[in-house]
Structure 1
Amino acid sequence: MKYPKLYEPAAIGSLNLKNRIVLSPLHTNFTVDNKYTEKYIEYYMERAKGGVGLIISAHVMAEIDVDPYPITFGYPTLDSTSEIKYFAELTEGVHQYGAKIAIELSPGTGRLADEIIEGEPPVGPSEIPLLTMPDVKTRELTREEIKQLVESYGRAAGFAKQAGFDAIYVHFMAYLGDQFLSSCWNHRQDEYGGSLENRMRFLVECIESARSSVGEDFPLIVGLALDHGFPGGRELNETIEIAKKLESLKIDALHLRRGSYDAMNLIVPTVYMKEGTSVDYAYEVKKSVNIPIIVDGNLSDLSYCESILEEGKTDFIGMGRPFITDPHWPNKARAGKDEEILPCIRCMQCINRVFFARYSACSVNPQYGREYEGQLQPTSKAKQVLIAGGGPAGLTAAKFLAEKGHNVTLVEKSNKLGGHLLEAAVPAYKKETDGYLEWLIRQVKKPNIEIRLGTEVTPDFVLNIKPDAVVVCTGSVPQLPQVPGIDSENVKIATKLLENYTDVADNIVIVGAGLVGCEMALFLKEKGKNNITLIDILPEIAYDVIYVAKPSLLGELEQKGIKGRPGLKLKEVTSTGIIVEDIKGNTENIDANTVILATGLEADDNLYDNLQDKVNEIYKIGDCISPRKFIDAVHEAYAIAKII
């Protein structure tokens, strides 16, 4: 076996697990009316079927009388026996496949409250500003309310045991529990504030309350932030002291990760962060206590995971997003089929959508969240399907159409499959995107898929092939500003330069500071280039980068010394640089030896328009509708595959 330590049986207290793989808590927003649905249950069951050892559920609230927040995320509540049946259906489904499941049980929300209920101000350990609405402050909890929260926590833990959960995960990371633990948020003057012992009192009482309901031998896992990742937040040394005090309470495991919602790039590491963001910090805790450790944070390289287990840096490997992309990766890796694992590209779409009150979704796995629909059913009548374009939309459509039993001809104008994935996968930190592209190409190497490269699809080509259906995925092409000097030798197009890099001179201006421009700048730093400036007509840098990834990207640009100058419009390219204009109409010369254009894309939909009266069944998907994200291309391809 390639990863013997990863697949070694292990225990958390009295709970025996078949391996050391843990599905970390990850909210998907799949609830309806704050209750588990078939969509949610089938999502977890598919991961259990895939070979995970332990599942830690997403956030469950112990009560909503004292702290009814948040409103928009659909967290279920386990505050009465009437709720047990919903959770029991989940645990029974997971247990069918030999996996175990812990409930992530939260005592409250505190400063992470969202929409405000009239007459019910958010509560917290102290009067502190809300994270997303700093003008609104929490009301300090009274001693009587804290007692009510503690009692509710114990009662909910008892209900969880009745529902069939195998362990209680005491959720003291970022939310109300963490706010009590941390002096940056806890300013109380009574027995719940001040010293670390006092700030831990709420945690200790919640643990004791849970134990009174579930018994001394029922496993308890405590989730803690290793550090908060911002000035004034908790540091690692204090977390180590917390862990030492928890050891005396005979906690069965600690789940550790860095960060807070004030430092999103740590709590949910992006593609710009290193592998194993939390490992070294967690190891410092592990060396200080005799409690099994679960660590997560950008852990997708299984060889690396195996090595940190062998070195004793952790006892269990926690992952979230890799289970979204491929729920069966544990079984595949155990069987030595690593190449079949669909990699997570760390695009953050799954989490970003939840922050905006939508169902979570995956850029590379369109079946995530649709597990309840079952697999695509074989077609009753195989069709000859022509797919024009071998980018992510075309490749995904070909994969699923072939799996249904259709005969597919996949035609790509260039000599390579991949479309815009080709340039997206070039930077060293995008190795997962490169892995995804390789995975996609392997998926279309099927007997019922014919691939033709270096071939342009024209109306005559289509009439000659005579397909039953045509799927147009011709993508998008660079959109170039029409200004004097745009054709100069010192001008490069970002997408083309990424795909076929040739050396460029230092002192570089990148016109267009969206995602492509920013990642072009980081790639040039990889190549050792200096004095790089991003300009954009819009008033901000990284304007099209999703919310949860933007702080990480901006931080990386700053760290690498890449300058950003928003609010400037390109007027002319000269032999010595460019001329720009600000919003007031003032012009400026910016010196540059190389000018790189990352000024967006425009849809290439000519083929679709030219085929309208020539083909009975025709579809248009991906960037040829309008340039967007990979997630749009992949999901449109899956939707088309379902109906053809």
Structure 2
Amino acid sequence: MNTGVLFTPLRLGRLTLPNRLVMAPMGTCLDRDGFVTEDTVAYYRRRAEGGVGAITVEGCLVSPDSRGPEPRLCGPQYVPGLRRIVEAVRPHGTKVGVQLMHPGRQVTDGPSVAPSPVPLNSVAPTPHALTVPEIKRIVADYAQAARFAADAGFDFVEVHGAHGYLPSNFLSARHNVRTDAYGGTLANRARFSIEVAQAIGAACDLPLVWRLNGTDAEPGGFDVESAVAVARMLEDAGVASISVSSGTWLTLHQTLAPMAVPRGHMRPLARAVRQAVSVPVMAVGRLDSPNLAADVVASGDADLILLGRGLIAEPDWPNLVRAGRLGDVRPCIACNACVDLVGRGERARCAVNPEVGRELTWAVKPAATPRRVMVVGSGPSGLEAARIARLRGHRVSIWERDRTLGGKLTVAGAAPSKQEVLRFRDFQARLLVELGVEVHTSAPVSARTVERHHPDVVVVATGAEPLVPPIPGIDGPAVHDAQRLLLGEVTVEPGTRLVVVGGSATGCETAELMCARGAEVTIVEMAGSIGRGVEAITRRQLVKQLRRDGVRILTGAVVVGFEPGLVRWRPAGAGGEEETLDTDLVALAIGWRASGTAITTELALLGVDVRVLGDAEIPADFVRAVNAGADAGLTV
């Protein structure tokens, strides 16, 4: 596919965008108490440097009584910080806008309001049903925020009218049960959105983009036919562009699709809206494949491509694609680590790009004195340590005991829903070869190996080893580490009765893969739920899929012994009677322990400069592993 179509200009209202690529608004938690920080400015500057045509700054709260982790635009005191973003982005030829949002009932803190007193879920508080005067005040808040955006120098504004936030909540017949002018018919439910659009148009002359759900993906919720009708109403109200998304907090697998969801899953929604309106339409939804993005534009399904997580993983995506260097684009694996961290109120980080969240200070500087660096282990931390150290000019070798590079990445990418992980593994491995890193596979490392090669520094990134507790019978011939099944080292025939002990990420992924191969799978987990260590959106979908596939899940269950053909277990807590499960095979996924202690002790006796990182030091997730590897590469 010719990707040149992505780099043609386009009119958006009175603006001319230099290309068809727009950075989607995504929260970062880089602000402080609602004020933009220098970290925020550096984050957006870095994306502008990468060649994106337009940036939509993350959602800013428009009402002073709204509280949350987002930046704020509800008073003049917030304007100077946002102006610094504009001043940082504009020299790179990138247009920049800001998203205006009111969370409504989807708040993490502060007042919960909605068109109707319908709670978000069974544990959420019942929101306050807005009165008409309160609705008018919020409409005015949007208009005032738009004026502040114009004062800050933005080129356009966007209203977050999707994902179950306040305008979207008004549109849903499932959640808006009002009987006045703001409820009932679709025109009435759209009234709030139309009034906001008209108020912004009267308050400033900036082009207005409206982010609209193509569907809520909820039974009885807002659907694509309604979206088409509302898009026409918004166009009549003066909106310059429609950005089509989908989902709410109840259906986040649509909004922030995990890696198991196919790329372009929201494309049909954008197409439906594009066929109904004459203003430019933006499409989103895992469109970070350059060829897919180009096809969406070339086919006329949308005019602009929104890149969110793809630009977090690879800020230079536009420039690399424009130059035809598609293979150099660092792949976003849709692991949602960035989303999960921000959702917990933590600063944005990325599982594949350690620069994220520290753009202000990030610098890969040449080493003052090049050294011979031996990296032991090629999991996520080892690969990144080797890459960064080589970029700094060190002579680097990487040593892996298995036949291929990747370490735990290879295990993690074995399940059908985790194949994207292998793209990152292969990308990193190829980069090391291109950079001139000396690669040794099928090469376990001992103190003698280190003595023979005389490195100046050894980076121990050997990962974690499986935890094997002293359960009677655990050394039996039918009991295996789950990783062996994931790697295909143990044959599993259709109809095999498999018990997976441990419902962590590894346990769930083992169950998924073995179920796909026809095994009859039971997961036994001591805790009250499975999927610990899995990002929340991915976990929800994974557990649903396991249940759909017929996997039996026993929680609150403690395994007490293994016998030929049997697993003995009892309920957690006192007084539970022991029970048994018939089985042909057992996979252990109980946990991990750091693996770097032994070799570190040996090397200390040699007087070698040793750095222990990643799971070799403390078992953790990919984000911490990759960032630990980067830190090691930056400091050796």
Counterpart secondary structure, 1:509: strand
Match of 1:608 in 2: 600
Q: Distance in 2 between matches of 1:284 and 1:448?
A: 49
Q: Where does residue 211 of structure 1 map in the other structure?
A: 201
Deviations 1:83-115 (A, max 9, x none): 332222211221211111221112x22211223
What stretches of structure 2 of length at least 5 have no aligned partner? none
Q: What CA RMSD, in Å, does the superposition of the two structures yield over aligned residues?
A: 2.2
For 2:571 and 2:478, how far apart are their aligned partners in 1? 23
Counterpart AA for 1:257: S
Measure, in 1, the Cα distance between the counterparts of 2:511 and 2:277: 43
Give CA deviations for 1:254-299 in whole Å, capped at 9, x if unaligned: 1111100111211111122222221123322333333322121222
| 1:431 to 1:12, Cα distance in 2 relative to 1, 3 A | farther
Q: 1:385·1:470 contact (CA, 8 Å) conserved in 2? A: yes
Secondary structure of the corresponding residue to residue 262 of structure 1:
helix
- Residue 146 in 1 paired to residue 132 in 2? no
Moved more, 511-520 or 230-239: 230-239
Q: Distance in 2 between matches of 1:558 and 1:282?
A: 32
Task: Return 5+ residue gaps in structure 1 as ranges.
Answer: none
1:201 corresponds to: 191
Deviation at 1:616, TM superposition (A): 5.0
Aligned ranges for residues 94-493 of structure 1 at < 5 Å? 94-106=89-101, 108-116=102-110, 121-129=111-119, 134=124, 136-173=125-162, 174-215=164-205, 218-445=206-433, 449-493=437-481
For residue 621 of structure 1, what is the aligned residue in structure 2? 613
CA distance in 1, matches of 2:444, 2:551: 39
Relative to the length of structure 2, the TM-score reads 0.94
- Structure 2 Cα separation of the partners of residues 503 and 5 of structure 1: 48
Q: 1:554 to 1:291 in 2, by over 3 A?
A: farther
C-alpha separation in 2, matches of 1:496 and 1:474: 17
Q: CA deviation at 1:559?
A: 2.8
Corresponding position: 1:515 with 2:495: no
Task: Please say if 1:25 is aligned against 2:25.
Answer: yes
Q: Deviations over 1:449-483 (max 9, x none)?
A: 32222323222332333332221112122223444
Q: Secondary structure at the match of 1:612?
A: helix
Deviations 1:609-630 (A, max 9, x none): 2223432532110111122211
Aligned to 2:526: 537
1:587 and 2:578 matched = yes
Aligned partners of 1:306 and 1:633: how far apart in 2? 34
C-alpha contact (below 8 Å) 1:469/1:615 kept by paired residues: no
Q: Is the 8 A contact 2:197 2:234 kept in 1?
A: no
The alpha carbon displacement at 1:487 in A equals: 4.0
Distance 1:238 1:519, change over 3 A: same
C-alpha separation in 1, matches of 2:260 and 2:435:
38
Judging changes above 3 Å, is the alpha-carbon distance between structure 1 residues 132 and 634 closer, same or farther for their aligned structure 2 residues? Answer: farther
Distance 2:590 2:341 in 1: 26
Code of the residue aligned with 1:323 in structure 2: it is: L
**Partners of 1:226 and 1:256 within 8 A in 2:** yes
Match of 1:9 in 2: 9
Deviations 1:305-331 (A, max 9, x none): 222323222222212111111100111
Between 42-51 and 226-235, report the one with greater CA deviation: 226-235
- Alignment equivalent of 2:79, drawn from 55, 62, 84: 84
Shift of the alpha carbon at 1:79?
2.6
Equivalent AA in structure 2 for residue 385 of structure 1: V
Deviates more, 1:369-378 or 1:476-485: 476-485
Picking from 51, 64, 67, the partner of 1:70 is 67
Q: Give the drift of 1:32.
A: 1.6
Structure 2: which amino acid aligns with 1:331?
N
The answer to whether the 8 A contact 1:472-1:619 is kept is: yes
Provide the rounded CA distance (Å) in 2 between the counterparts of 1:52 and 1:575. 60
In the TM superposition, what is the alpha-carbon distance from 1:448 to its structure 2 partner? 5.6
**Offset of residue 543 of structure 1:** 2.6
What is the alpha-carbon distance in structure 2 between the residues aligned to residue 240 and residue 97 of structure 1? Answer: 35
Q: Aligned partner of 1:320: which letter?
A: G
AA matched with 2:410: L
CA displacement 1:531-572 (0-9 Å, x = unmatched):
322221222121332323221222222232322121222233
Structure 1 residues 55-86: Cα deviation after superposition (integer angstroms, max 9, x where no partner): 1110112231xxx2233x14222432x43322
Deviation string for 1:462-518 (max 9, x for gaps)? 233333222111212222344444344443432122223554122322222111111
Query: Deviations for 1:33-75, whole angstroms, at most 9, x for unmatched residues?
Result: 21111111111111111111121110112231xxx2233x142
Asked if 1:643 corresponds to 2:623, the answer is no
> Is the Cα contact below 8 Å between 1:78 and 1:84 reproduced in 2?
no
Do the aligned partners of 2:73 and 2:148 also contact (CA within 8 Å) in 1?
no
CA separation of 1:639 and 1:285: change in aligned 2, threshold 3 A = same
1:124-183 CA-to-partner distances (Å, cap 9, x unmatched) read 32333355952x322222322222222221122122123221211121122112122223
* 1:558 alignment counterpart: 547
Letter in 2 for 1:400: I
Give the share of equivalent positions with the same residue, in percent: 29
Would the aligned equivalents of 1:2 and 1:334 in 2 still touch at CA under 8 Å?
no
Query: Any idea what SS the aligned residue of 1:327 has?
Result: coil
Q: In structure 1, what is the Cα distance between the partners aligned to 2:395 and 2:470?
A: 43
**1:370-423 deviation line (CA, Å, top 9, x unaligned):** 111142211212222222222221111111111112222322222321111112
Question: The residue matched to 2:136 in structure 1 has which SS?
Answer: helix
For 1:96, the aligned partner's letter is P
The alignment partner of 2:33 has SS state of coil
Q: 2:590 aligns with which of 579, 584, 599?
A: 599
Partner Cα separation in structure 1 for residue 152 and residue 105 of structure 2: 30
The 2-side partners of 1:570 and 1:84 are apart by: 59
Match of 2:18, as an amino acid? K
Partner SS state of residue 170, structure 1? strand
Aligned-pair CA distance for 1:351: 0.9
Deviates more, 1:444-453 or 1:587-596: 444-453
Q: Which moved more, 1:223-232 or 1:253-262?
A: 223-232
Q: Alpha carbons of 1:275 and 1:526: their partners in 2 closer, same or farther (altered >3 Å)?
A: farther
CA contact (8 A) 1:111 1:131 kept: no
Quick one: which amino acid aligns to residue 84 of structure 2? E
Deviations 1:557-598 (A, max 9, x none): 223232212122223334334222222432222223332222
Maintained 8 Å contact 2:370/2:395:
yes
Bigger CA drift: 236-245 or 475-484?
475-484
Q: Which moved more, 1:281-290 or 1:348-357?
A: 281-290
1:52 is matched with which residue? 52
Specify the code of the residue in structure 2 equivalent to 1:627: P
